[in-house]
Amino acid sequence: MELPYVESYKIKMVETIKKSTREEREKWMKEANYNLFNLKSEQVFIDLITDSGTNAMSDRQWSAMMEGDESYAGARSYYRMKEAIADVTGFGYFLPTHQGRAAENVLFSSLIKSGDIIPGNSHFDTTKGHIEYRKAHAVDCTIDDAKNTELEIPFKGNVDLEKLEKTLSSHPKEKIPFIIVTVTNNTAGGQPVSMENVKGVAALAKKYGIKLLFDSARFAENAYFIKTREKGYADKSIREICREMFSYGDFMTMSAKKDAIVNIGGFVAFRDKTDWERAQMYAIMYEGFLTYGGMSGRDMNALAVGLYEGTEFDYLDTRIKQVAYLGKKLDEYGIPYQRPAGGHAIFLDAKKILKNVPKEEFIAQTLGVEIYLESGVRGVEIGALLADRDPETGINRFPALELLRLAIPRRVYTNNHMDYIAAAVKNVVDRSASITHGYKITRELPIMRHFTVELEPAK
Ligand code: F0G
């Protein structure tokens, strides 16, 4: 008999989580103005709002923290991080930052001007925010197949090379500071980008003389999918795949809170010294001196260890199969989600579940609230709230998909938790016909409103 997949670690420390009653949750949800971000974490039973910074560090990472060098300049921890980045990614220069969006802020400050065009695959919301804040435009060149949640294809996060070439050829080179490839493609459902696609993007970048940036938050999960799904990569190690992928790019921004399995941290890494030097001024202004950026020495040490642990096959196999396990449970109940299951999350197809809620009343948000009220499970909306208003017209943008993301933190929950989550979703689906109204906005910020938005029931 083939042995089943099993976690490649055992549990050394636990944290108690508390159940609550539906009445309690109704009161808390109202007090939180129907924004799941406004709940206190104690009011949440299983927290799937993000896989970012919510991961369990290993004994090795904790012990590395004890050896952190907190020197302002030239800390050992900086050099340890530098070595790990060079080893895992091949990039020789880097700037530490406190997280991914800070890496974007530093790099984009040195590269983006007003009126610029930045093509890519489903720019993440902070990425888009940092582009639009600089009065530049993010042009989404994701393949159209990503919008069909039922379609089962191996690399649904890919860039559409025709759309990309059209964008590159219709603007002067000076207006396009770089192309961005997000691995995995978070917004499209944690879907991977194939090496073939990366090579195609790199060839176009070269043809038009434009640089290539990897938004690398989940680069190791992407490499796992390349190894397990793409021809020619089965016998390559995850690290070989990562180094090959990064060899096609000029720089990377990293939110280490995901695939480096830490609670805080990030960096920008560069191939060219001149690019690195150009960004240094912004790193010092926004983050800190070059050898710590926004990080403490202990955090840089944990990150360095995490980059190695996060690129071990056995760990990734456990990780991604747990997400697939939740997907299989949902399949048993016939619940629609972005197929195939993503690397870090399941994205429920809210439009297919809540057919009677109008889009103006925020379908995915409504599903998120219902699942929380049902079970204490907290997901996050990837729909019209996240899409913000068009910065020029001020009109609400309604994306093709209304998704409710259930992001699974790394090394945190067991498959019993996955069973509970699936049952909670099923109960909401079973009574979905009676859910006919959603929410309306009572307060919002102009950019990235979903974090702080306040809502009230539409009826
Ligand atoms: N890029 C991607 C693809 C991301 O998913 C994130 C964060 C960032 C950049 C920004 O990194 O949070 O460290 O500043 N994603 C989190 C999420 C917040 O929940 O998906 P950050």
Take atom 13 of ligand 1 and give the residue whose Cα is closest. 100
Nearest atom in ligand 1 to 99's CA: 13
Q: Which bin fits 69, alpha (ψ -120 to 50), beta or left (φ > 0)?
A: beta
Q: Note whether 263 and 65 are within 8 A (CB).
A: no
**What's the rounded Cα separation, in Å, for the pair 417 and 434?**
27
Residues 6 or more apart whose Cβ sits within 8 Å of residue 11: none
Identify the residues whose C-beta falls under 6 Å from ligand 1: 50, 52, 99-101, 124, 126-127, 182, 186, 215, 217, 255, 257, 266
Give me ligand 1 centre to Cα 455, in Å. 24
Catalytic annotation present for 329: no
- Kindly give the confidence (pLDDT) of every residue in the chain, 459 residues in length, as a single tens digit, with 9 standing for 90 and above: 999 889 999 999 999 999 999 999 999 999 999 999 999 999 999 999 999 999 999 999 999 999 999 999 999 999 999 999 999 999 999 999 999 999 999 999 999 999 999 999 999 989 999 999 999 999 999 999 999 999 999 999 999 999 999 999 999 999 999 999 999 999 999 999 999 999 999 999 999 999 999 999 999 999 999 999 999 999 999 999 999 999 999 999 999 999 999 999 999 999 999 999 999 999 999 999 999 999 999 999 999 999 999 999 999 999 999 999 999 999 999 999 999 999 999 999 999 999 999 999 999 999 999 999 999 999 999 999 998 898 889 999 999 899 999 999 999 999 999 999 999 999 999 999 999 999 999 999 988 899 999 999 998
Instruction: Identify the CA nearest to 186 among candidates 338, 2, 70, 31.
Output: 338
What pTM does this model have? 0.96
* Residues facing 102 on adjacent strands: none
From the candidates 51, 125, 160, 250, give the one annotated as an active-site residue: 125
CA of 131 to the centre of ligand 1 (A): 15
The reply to whether 215 belongs to the active site is yes
* CA dihedral sign of residues 27, 30, 36, 42: negative
CA separation for the pair 94, 273 (Å, rounded): 9
- Measured by CA distance, the residue closest to atom 11 of ligand 1 is 100
CA of residue 104 to ligand 1 center, whole Å: 10
Query: What is the sign, positive or negative, of the torsion defined by CA atoms of 28, 32, 37, 39?
Result: negative
Phi/psi at 20 (5° precision): -140, 175
CA distance 242 to 313: 12
**Distance of alpha carbon 147 from alpha carbon 239, whole angstroms:** 30
Cα angle 47, 315, 197 (rounded to 5 degrees) comes to 90
